[in-house]
Structure 1
Amino acid sequence: MACIGYARVSTLDQNSDLQHTALKAAGCKKIFTDHGVSGTRASRPELDKMLDHLRDGDEVIVWKLDRLGRNTRNLLALIDDLEGRGVHFRALTEGITTTGSMGRAMLTVMSAFAQLERDQLAERTRAGMAAAAAHGRRAGRREVTAEDRKVRRACELKAQGLKPADIGKIIGASRATVYRYLAMDTG
């Protein structure tokens, strides 16, 4: 029997060190980690590799239940697949394991509550966006036009002979953004 760890972070700038430390302390010799991958996706590169690696009698360990999946249906299907292959599952933070019937029941209940929480958050977000739209506000970044202060300043600096990289340092924008600003110049 091997203890196999799985870690996941949703964005590339997040760090999986906390998960790795906990998984190693739980006895995991091999840890598969997905970086910048949403837990709502059923197929993830490292998760797929881990599933191919697993053998009868192994145990999959995650730091938190939501690291394995954020969609109740997919999570429970994945756990069913593991159990059908003779692989056990354990979530460290929640103290859930599939080795007993009570752990299986708790897993189902907790994943359902996690799904409910995500659904409510999405619903509140949509309601907030609708309320903002009713007051004439739009979600997202505001549109940049040729009349904006930074665009005018970039054009002035370009006329003085500065290079886009230097202009970007002065106005606090990337070189690519400076090129977009300069392309807006109608004068």
Structure 2
Amino acid sequence: MTAYGYARVSTFDQDLTAQRQALKAAGCRVVRAETASGSRRDGRTELQVLLDFVQPGDTLVVTRIDRLARSVRDLQDIVHELKGRGVALRATEQPIDTSTAAGKAFLDMLGVFAEFETNLRRERQSEGIAQAKARGVYRGRKPSIDVAEIRRMHAESGLGPSAIARKLGVGRSSVYRALAAA
């Protein structure tokens, strides 16, 4: 019966230190941590490593349920997978015990609130972008390639798209799009 910790933050400017310390204090010998969005499970390699590794009788420990999942569906899938393998789930900051009806109900409520919070954040972000576009402030991501430079290199040096892509460190398809737009 070993406790394994999982810590997650969404952005690189956030710090994992507090979560790691709390998980170590909760008795986790191993703590896997990553910086990834919690709204989707794909791309969360450290979580997948833990899910693949835990054995019957082990416990997966998180500080809060929103560190594990941000949607009810994803949370239920993870809990179902853990339960099917005989692995318990525990949160250090929330009274969660997946073996009781009350613990399961509380877990589901927390999942609903985590998903609600994610949806609110998306709505606010969309509203902010729409307002910025209306003011003419938001123009999207800055271009990662210099179309004029691609055209110049193609015209002056006669380089092909593959050679231009290598020299500029961009994808070949980006070079083809830039040349076709001319």
TM above 0.5, one fold? yes
How many residues in Structure 1 have an aligned counterpart in Structure 2? 142
Any conservation in 2 of the 1:82–1:88 contact (CA below 8 Å)? yes
Any conservation in 2 of the 1:129–1:139 contact (CA below 8 Å)? no
- In the alignment, the residues of structure 2 paired with residue 38 and residue 120 of structure 1 have an alpha-carbon distance, to the nearest angstrom, of 15
Secondary structure of the structure 2 residue equivalent to 1:96: coil
Larger Rg: 1
- In the alignment, the residues of structure 2 paired with residue 13 and residue 127 of structure 1 have an alpha-carbon distance, to the nearest angstrom, of 24
Q: Work out whether 1:113 is the aligned partner of 2:113.
A: yes
Alignment of 1:32-181 (within 5 A): 32-34=32-34, 36-43=35-42, 44-138=44-138, 140=140
AA aligned to 2:113 is F
| CA distance 1:125–1:50, change in 2 (3 Å) | same
TM-score, structure 2 length as denominator? Answer: 0.70
What residue in structure 1 maps to residue 8 of structure 2?
8
Any conservation in 2 of the 1:97–1:104 contact (CA below 8 Å)? yes
Tell me the percent identity.
Answer: 42
| Structure 2 residue runs without a partner (length 5+) | 144-182
What residue in structure 2 maps to residue 29 of structure 1?
29
| CA distance 1:106–1:134, change in 2 (3 Å) | same
- In the alignment, the residues of structure 2 paired with residue 21 and residue 73 of structure 1 have an alpha-carbon distance, to the nearest angstrom, of 29
